[in-house]
Amino acid sequence: MNTLGAVASNTTETFRGLIMRLYENPFISKILSIILAIILSLVLMSLSKIVATYIKNKITRNFIVRGNKDIENVTALMGDIIFYVLVVFSLFIGFSVVGLQVGLIL
């Protein structure tokens, strides 16, 4: 008889049961969903910043006149607009995971 293996198997089943019971608790599952939404929003915001910077640099490089302050200001403004639009979508996607209807707020 392998009692050590039986104890390990029972411990594993008990741990799985505990995790399942915790996740079935509505309060715990909502907190986990909110944490997931925040992490997803942060990842999407960082991707938004990378995309906005790339587009801003691409637009700046395509102008013939180099070193013009007006062109740099316009491309910076365009980069900021793209970034904030993507951030709004990132927040919407992140909190849609949780189930919060942020479309009415936005």
9 falls within a domain: no
pTM above 0.75, yes or no: no
6 falls within a domain: no
Q: Tell me how many domains the chain contains.
A: 1
Range of the domain at 44: 29-98
Q: Is the per-residue pLDDT at 99 higher than 60?
A: yes
66 falls within a domain: yes
Higher pLDDT, 99 or 11: 99
61 falls within a domain: yes
21 falls within a domain: no
58 falls within a domain: yes
Cα-based torsion angle of the residue sequence 39, 41, 42, 45 in order, rounded to the nearest 10 degrees: 160
50 falls within a domain: yes
DSSP E strand stretches across the chain: none
Q: Residue for token digits 């910077």?
A: 53
Q: Please report the pLDDT score of residue 50 as a whole number.
A: 92
Contact 86, 48 (CB under 8 A): yes
Phi-psi region of 19 (alpha: psi -120 to 50; beta: other; left: phi over 0): alpha
Q: Please report the pLDDT score of residue 3 as a whole number.
A: 59
C-alpha–C-alpha distance, residues 102 and 85, integer Å: 15
68 falls within a domain: yes
